[in-house]
Structure 1
């Protein structure tokens, strides 16, 4: 059985993959205070880093896709893998905006960016998902079981929009529900440790 060690500031999708699979891993969460001492010990001097039996893996989304394949959560055929990859591409715009919000130092500009993220960027993402990834109304991005695509949607949306907005996108809401109602996820979410980015 492989030994997994995850070093990160916030790598929630990787955590969710481990939880969904039921795979134990060592979760090393760094803060901006503890990071400088660890930085020289990482490839490229950045996080996250996933170490599997002593071998380091880098680049967040590449790690997500690697683990999803290892755990059977990347679809059962090329069509389903495409549907998951499509969600990854759609989520990139939201991720870029979230980084802008986090990095903005001016409080007024930060407030404006947060408002745009909540009122424009995330609803646009959800609208696309309603038409594409969630259009089947099954509550799954691909096939008939939870996958990496569903975890990305959950991490991108959950807790970042209101109920009224969620109700406009029932197929997306069904995906969020399926993630939250998974027994392993329930236990994890109830005890989840926040990160510096939450």
Structure 2
């Protein structure tokens, strides 16, 4: 088996999906965390493939970009469905979750306008996506996007959901009960639950 090292900042963000996969499959890896404003990252950034993190090192090979990493791990650890058609569906749902930037208006100084932008992001983008996932879980029979089989699409949704719980804590999820049930089911899987309990305290 190759050796794995995940290099990312000391936060959850786009690196947490890979960490959750490693937790679920029980495979050891090095969880290298850099400070975003630290000297280590400033020195190493020019040496990375595209000047961004996360990067997964598979032995001496570097795989950049969170979705490429997620799909690679999904293929290696049998989390891309049971056949090519299911793998395509996993790809599709990952793209649905990432196809438009989930840019919360952090930098908006006017609090009223910031709230309006956040409401628009929730109502026009995020909640409709969650509704589509909710429909898919119903169609598949649940509890996951592909039915009984966990996939990296579910892990991608879980990672996004952690952000939503912080940024949109005041929003109701009553209209997407199968999504919330899926999140609960995933976070109660024994190995994932153990990771969530022991992972370093960090920003989302």
**Shorter-chain TM-score: what band?**
0.7 to 0.9
Counterpart in 1 of 2:2?
A: 2
1:123-169 C-alpha deviation (Å, 9 max, x unpaired): 11111112224433311111422110111111112425559733321
**Secondary structure of the equivalent of 2:139?**
coil
Structure 2: stretches of 5+ with no match in the other structure: none
CA distance in 1, matches of 2:170, 2:89: 26
**Secondary structure of the equivalent of 1:165?**
coil
Counterpart in 2 of 1:14?
A: 18
The answer (yes or no) to whether the contact 1:5–1:25 under 8 Å persists in 2 is yes
Match of 2:53 among 32, 47, 52: 47
Counterpart in 2 of 1:27?
A: 31
Question: Does the alignment pair 1:126 with 2:130?
Answer: yes
Match of 1:178 among 174, 179, 185: 185
Counterpart in 2 of 1:101?
A: 104
Counterpart in 2 of 1:80?
A: 86
Counterpart in 2 of 1:156?
A: 160
What root-mean-square deviation, in Å, do the aligned CA atoms of Structure 1 and Structure 2 show?
A: 2.3
TM-score normalised by structure 1 residue count: 0.85
The answer (yes or no) to whether the contact 2:4–2:57 under 8 Å persists in 1 is yes
CA distance in 1, matches of 2:120, 2:51: 32
TM-score normalised by structure 2 residue count: 0.83
CA distance in 1, matches of 2:200, 2:122: 23
1:94-136 C-alpha deviation (Å, 9 max, x unpaired): 6x02xx327x533235544434334543211111112224433
The number of equivalent residue pairs is 193
Deviation at 1:7, TM superposition (A): 0.8
Question: Does the alignment pair 1:187 with 2:194?
Answer: yes
**Secondary structure of the equivalent of 2:149?**
coil
CA distance in 1, matches of 2:19, 2:46: 24
Which region of structure 1 is more displaced relative to structure 2, 179-188 or 9-18?
A: 9-18
1:54-73 matches, cutoff 5 A: 54-73=60-79
**Secondary structure of the equivalent of 1:80?**
helix
Distance 1:3 1:110, change over 3 A: farther
CA distance in 2, matches of 1:129, 1:92: 13
